[in-house]
Each structure stands twice: as structure tokens, then as C-alpha cells.
Amino acid sequence: MIDNFALADLPDEVIGFKYPLRRLAAALRKEPVRIVAMGSSSTAGREDVVPYPHWMEMYLRRDTGNARIDVLNRGKGGEEADRELPRFNTDIFAEAPSLVIWQVGTNAVFRDKEFDFDTVVAAIESGLDRLRGHSEDMDVMLIDPQYVPAMLLDDKADLSERMVARISAAAERVKVNVFHRWALMRHWHVHNNIALDRMIDPTDPDRLHQSDGSTLRLSRGLSNTIRRAVATAEIT
């Protein structure tokens, strides 16, 4: 059992990227660098938990030595892909980022009475097509749902697995990376013996949102994975 999240595994075979980040690699050779994080509450943040875009920006600035990396947080709690598409022009394309990170899929499962599963999947596919239409200017990646109690209830578990699979399939169709948050957090639970309740914000009655510790460790893994994909782009 791991008592400190800083020791939790970040295995490349779980979270490693399949495709290099060539646009981001080119941007990092210049200044400034702009990254847009689109998503729901995992991106926007909740209560006192600092969300991943803040930590990722800190790690990338420190580890690359480039103090002019800005991660623009365009998360909005409660949204899903179908409601985020109308924000693409103002919140993504107008910012001209070198990398877009799109966190999707959680609310379609957790709030399945409000969101239609197939409509959300279709919106993810449509959004990826729009983003890939700007492939000369920006790299694109997805983040799939979190492995937490609210997503593992009897009436949610199968839907969660379906969403994770559909996100991977949608990303592979257009050859973009997925940061496999679901698989990483499951690895922590199964292989590092971290209790699910330690991964969630103790102030969240829904048992859905990640804790400070798990968010920080996930951000470290995300930053590492992005830097490796940049390094791959520089040598290919």
C-alpha cells in the first residue's frame, strides 16, 4: 500500500502517447507557448482542489525551462462535449494554441439522465474532426473519465467502460492521443492498493471529483507524458 501519492506509479505502458506532439515541439523552440484545456469540472476545478491545468503549467515551465508556457483553463463545470462544441471558436481557435487538451465523457455517465450517451459520443467525434482540421497549427489530445466511486456504481460501471472505449476509438480514428486517466487511476487502486476514497475530494458528497493528491499526481504524469511526446517529435 502506498501512503504518499507522490510515490504512485506513472507507468508509460498505461499513459504513454502513441503519437508525437510535433506542433507543440515546434512551439517550444520559440516563445511564448499557449495550451488550451477544454473540459468540465475536472478541468475548471471544484471548491479548494487546484485543477490539473494549473499544476501542468507549473511542471511544464519548470521542466522545460520555458517560463512563457501558458495553459489557458477553459473548463466549465457540468458541461459535456455537445455543449462545448459551440465554445470552440472563442475558447480554442481564437487563442491559436499549439496544443488542445479536451477532457470529456464524465458527465455523460454521471449525469446520464441529462445527457444522451450517443449524442455525446457523436459530439466528441465531430469536435475531433473540427480540431484536426487545424492540424497544421495545433496538436490535439483527449483525457478520458476518472476512476472513482461515482463512476463505478452498479448502474454506471458498464456505461463508464463503454465511454472509455468509445473515446479511445474516436481518438484512434483521427490519430490523436488519449491520456488514459481511467486506466491510470485503476492502476493506482489495483496495483498500488490506493483506496478509492483516497482518490476523491473528501468534501464532495457525490464521490466524483478527484482529491488534491490524486490531481497533483495525475498532473505530474500528464506533464511527463507530454514532454516524452515532444521529445519523440524532435527526433522523428
Q: What SS3 class is residue 208?
A: coil
**Angle (deg, nearest 10), helices 157-173 and 181-191:** 130
User: How many residues can be counted in the chain?
Assistant: 236
Q: How many domains does the chain have?
A: 1
The residue whose grid cell reads 492498493 is 193
pLDDT of residue 62: 96
pLDDT of residue 236: 59
The three-point CA angle 129-180-207 to 5° equals 110
Buried b (16+ CB within 10 A) or exposed e, 177-213: bbbbbbbbbbbbbeeeebebeebbbeebeebbbbbeb
CB 142 within 8 A of CB 167: yes
Domain interval for residue 79: 5-234
pLDDT of residue 235: 64
CB 59 within 8 A of CB 220: yes
pLDDT of residue 42: 95
pLDDT of residue 6: 85
pLDDT of residue 80: 98
Euclidean distance between CA atoms 146 and 158, whole angstroms: 14
CA distances from 216 to 69, 120, 219, 232 (A): 18, 28, 5, 25
pLDDT truncated to tens, each residue of the chain (236 aa)? Answer: 566 788 999 999 999 999 999 999 999 998 799 999 999 999 999 888 899 999 999 999 999 999 999 999 999 999 999 999 999 999 999 999 999 999 999 999 999 999 999 999 999 999 999 999 998 899 999 999 999 999 999 889 999 999 999 999 999 999 999 999 999 999 999 999 999 999 999 999 999 999 999 999 999 999 999 999 999 997 65
Q: What is the CATH number of the domain that holds 26?
A: 3.40.50.1110
